[in-house]
Amino acid sequence: MSKAKIAISVGDLNGVGIEIALKSHEEVSKLCEPIYCINSSLTLQAANLLSMNVPGSFTTSHVDGNFSIKAGEVDQDAGRYSYDSFMRAIELCESKNADALVTMPIHKEAWKSAGLEFVGHTDLLRQHFKEDAIMMLGCREMYVALFTEHIPLRDVANSIETEKLAKFLLDLHKSIGKHKVAVLGLNPHAGDNGVLGDEEKKIEQALEIVNSIIGEELFFGPVVPDIAFTPGFRKNYQYFAAMYHDQGLAPLKALYFDESINVSLNLPIIRTSVDHGTAFDIAYKGKAKNLSYMNAIKSAIDFIN
């Protein structure tokens, strides 16, 4: 059986992504055929800064660009290049020259300084494919899908609408199959029957709609947020749906920081990603860990198969 071909967008070259890609290449090549979306001159520049050699089998898909890598700095050239690398990787998947896409971390401020309108990978994918992409993060022990993502906390409550949440949960079900999902409430104590907020009533209505359509009770809640990730409760669920970014990701990263990955669901292509940032503070110091990256590669292969 031939190995899967995986397009890898290199992320912000001022961060740790290229170091992880270079030093993991031999291990990754045993699992798949990686195609790195970068040109040879920037690959060599990064390798020289890391005092590393570029592996002979380091296959690239050329992405135009020529600038000086500035380790640990926010830079519009690096921001633009991480976008161009990502778009090349998408093109490889759309043209069937790659089976899946794995992304290294970008820097959102660098994207903004480069004049890009997108707040991140998932936002771009959503607009590019005109699909309601779902951001899910985690590992085999626990996955967290986010109903709202990169929006101000003050806007979250108004974003919770019954029909909108029901569609999100149905799309999640179509992507993950017959897994139970614990759906978190928004307010402390899940609203205490309306005493601390009434958003939970909309969540309850969404759950009733979704379970009725599915014909089986697979979505449970609203779960009191401060008990959802305790060992006694968590042992019964692998999947969680959080109402906002930090509600789901703070506990996830406390429990599984190094192992976690990012998965984009409800799209025509397979995309996984490391679940960490550019780590500018350790860029080009040889300290970057690759566990999340390796899990992203393995998960992409799992989704292909």
Write down the pLDDT at residue 247.
97
Can you read off the two tokens belonging to residue 109?
């401020």
Which distant-in-sequence residues (6+ apart) come within 8 Å of 161 by Cβ? 202
Domain topology for 142-258: Isopropylmalate Dehydrogenase (3.40.718)
Write down the pLDDT at residue 200.
96
Spell out, as residue ranges, where the chain has pLDDT lower than 50. Answer: none
Can you read off the two tokens belonging to residue 123?
């936002």
Write down the pLDDT at residue 1.
67
Write down the pLDDT at residue 43.
98
CA-nearest of 59, 66, 64, 73 to 12 is 73
Residue 128 to residues 38, 125, 150, 294: CA-CA distances in angstroms? 21, 5, 18, 26
Compute the distance between CA of residue 132 and CA of residue 64 in angstroms, rounded to an integer.
30
1-131+269-305 and 142-258, same CATH topology = yes
Domain spans, the chain: 1-131+269-305, 142-258
Write down the pLDDT at residue 194.
86
What is residue 183's three-state secondary structure? strand
Number of Cβ within 10 Å of residue 199's Cβ equals 23
Specify the pairing of strand 181-184 against strand 142-146: unpaired
Can you read off the two tokens belonging to residue 130?
């005109």
Can you read off the two tokens belonging to residue 59?
């296959």
The burial class, CB within 10 Å (0-12 / 13-18 / 19+), for 255 is middle
CATH of domain 1-131+269-305: 3.40.718.10
Which distant-in-sequence residues (6+ apart) come within 8 Å of 285 by Cβ? none
Compute the distance between CA of residue 105 and CA of residue 115 in angstroms, rounded to an integer.
18
